[in-house]
Structure 1
Amino acid sequence: MSVAERLRARTPVRRWVGVGVATAMWFALYQVNLPVWDWVVYTVMGLDAASQLGSGVHFFFYDSIKIILLLVSIIFAVTVLRSFMSVERTRALLGGKREGIGNVMAAGLGVITPFCSCSAVPAFIGFVAAGVPLGVTMSFLIASPLVNEVAIALLFGMFGIGPTALYVGAGLVIAIVAGFTMGRLKLEHWVEPFVFETRLGGQVIDSTIGLARV
């Protein structure tokens, strides 16, 4: 076995070891965050915990580090998920799905798929041309930029699980209901014909694929 082959064989092991070490360090930092700032603010700086100044300084430093740690963990987790869930793979999963379950799947996949409002037009054309129903496509396009992992981390760090769950749930419900409603309104005739005639992989996609209703 050559040196290059040995290095390639060891790379996955080293990568997982690195992930494990980083995860352990993250948990350690998260656990010591509160006692460290308790000691710094109330012991070293000598501020009173009952005073507005003391509680304000403690809140600023403690919550800033807490939010940074949450952002790092959530962005890392979402990035790993996105490495397995590209827009192309999502489009393939949603192609031919019926409305209802398709809207739920699209909204859920939209949260973890790399997509922003800037790419709405090409994403819309690609999904519809691939046979994804219009309503399902809209559920994906609404949920993807609406439910943001950075906002999730900030809300969780500042307000806790309740408001965060409300934000995520509301975003998913809006995406599902809006997409389902658009699908039931049968707005396909408002879409420019060239969208359905777009060539994917050298073939013209039939515009009737995936437009079945439950």
Structure 2
Amino acid sequence: MFDWAQAIADWLVYDIFHLDKGGHLAEALNFFIYDVTKISILLVAVIFFMGVVNSYFPIDRVKNFLSRNKLYGLEYLMASLFGVVTPFCSCSSVPLFIGFVKGGIPLGVTFAFLITSPLVNEVAIGLFVGLFGIKTTIIYVVSGVMLGTISGIILQKLRLENLLTPWVKEILANSQREQDKFKNEQLTLRQRLPIIWTEVTTILKGVMPYVIIGIAIGGLMHGYVPEGFFEQYMDKDNLFAVPIATIFAIPMYSNAAGILPVVQVLVAKGIPLGTAIAFMMGVVGLSLPEAMLLKKIMTFKLIATFFGVVTLCIIISGYLFNMLL
């Protein structure tokens, strides 16, 4: 989908700046240019789309329905399954997360999507089948979906809405006022578009500095952190290898397709599959760049709670993988 963005990044880094392919600076800069382009486009597209939807669709009814009706966890499962069909990395999922929050979707349901989206997608599934077989792939997909579902339920039970930043609360208030205006005035789509675009630019101005900083951190990690740096701590004889692998993975940043070959190498070197997959989930599902992007939306306490719950669930999954496989 974003091959053109990769082509632009390659052209700038290798043809304009004349950096050597494979060099640390080239890798970091290439990653930065590609991700800034990709995530900026996603932000504009998703926020604009959600603005159009919100201008017509009674989001307050959806919010009340999801909040008050007993769906027995199906709303979290549906959000996780939606994450499966959106092949984004953790930072790319943030624009949709903002759209969900702006649309009034309960925070736990939104978290379920944010967790699953980078972990499980068709690319990761295809690579998993080729590298580890059908059985392991099925277990991984089911565990990824359940990880998002269960984490979402836990986070919703903690009632963390008050830990959203004042900026988000203002965005939500503006969204509700705009929707009331749309209802009362019965505006045409052409009349709605300037109002929607003003909202898009407002959100972009607030988020983009964090996007750039977050991706810059990710680019530096991508270019300068050696892939084999943490292997010595994941030995099969280390009882604490799974939590160590998960925690050490957080400073790194990659998507599922990028980290799976590393997982294959780790397994080939004798590291238990569950430990290697916990490392992969930590890299893909949790990262410092993602935390930087979320900082505009969440207070530090909410980010820490989100990371803590997901880290705990990943560690449990890692130990279960080691027992099952």
Q: In the alignment, is the contact (CA less than 8 A) between 1:95 and 1:130 conserved in 2?
A: no
Residue 73 (1) aligns with residue 213 (2):
yes
SS in 1 for 2:254: coil
Q: In the alignment, is the contact (CA less than 8 A) between 1:99 and 1:133 conserved in 2?
A: no
Deviation string, structure 1 residues 127-180 (Cα, Å, up to 9, x no partner): 111122222112102222111445433432123223322222222112111102
Deviation string, structure 1 residues 94-142 (Cα, Å, up to 9, x no partner): 3456132x11221122222343211454233211111222221121022
Residue 156 (1) aligns with residue 295 (2):
yes
Residue 89 (1) aligns with residue 219 (2):
no
**Alpha carbons of 1:105 and 1:59: their partners in 2 closer, same or farther (altered >3 Å)?**
farther
Q: In the alignment, is the contact (CA less than 8 A) between 1:136 and 1:179 conserved in 2?
A: yes
SS in 1 for 2:297: helix
Partner of 1:205: none
For structure 2, which runs of at least 5 residues remain unmatched after alignment? Answer: 1-173, 179-195
Residue 133 (1) aligns with residue 268 (2):
no
**Counterpart selection for 1:171 from 297, 310, 320:** 310
- Counterparts of 2:222 and 2:246, CA distance in 1: 15
Alignment of 1:33-72 (within 5 A): 52=177, 63-72=203-212
For structure 1, which segment, 109-118 or 133-142, has the greater mean C-alpha deviation from structure 2 after superposition? Answer: 109-118
**Alpha carbons of 1:77 and 1:151: their partners in 2 closer, same or farther (altered >3 Å)?**
closer
AA partner of residue 270 (structure 2): G
Q: In the alignment, is the contact (CA less than 8 A) between 2:242 and 2:279 conserved in 1?
A: yes
TM norm structure 2: 0.35
Partner of 2:261: 122
- Counterparts of 1:93 and 1:82, CA distance in 2: 20
SS in 2 for 1:159: coil
Q: In the alignment, is the contact (CA less than 8 A) between 2:213 and 2:289 conserved in 1?
A: no
Residue 146 (1) aligns with residue 311 (2):
no
RMSD: 3.4
**Alpha carbons of 1:78 and 1:114: their partners in 2 closer, same or farther (altered >3 Å)?**
closer
AA partner of residue 171 (structure 1): V
**Alpha carbons of 1:68 and 1:173: their partners in 2 closer, same or farther (altered >3 Å)?**
same
- Counterparts of 1:186 and 1:92, CA distance in 2: 24
AA partner of residue 103 (structure 1): V
Residue 113 (1) aligns with residue 247 (2):
no
AA partner of residue 66 (structure 1): G
- Counterparts of 1:114 and 1:171, CA distance in 2: 16
For structure 1, which segment, 107-116 or 173-182, has the greater mean C-alpha deviation from structure 2 after superposition? Answer: 107-116
Q: In the alignment, is the contact (CA less than 8 A) between 1:139 and 1:178 conserved in 2?
A: yes
AA partner of residue 79 (structure 1): G
- Counterparts of 2:197 and 2:260, CA distance in 1: 46
For structure 1, which runs of at least 5 residues remain unmatched after alignment? Answer: 1-48, 188-214
TM norm structure 1: 0.50
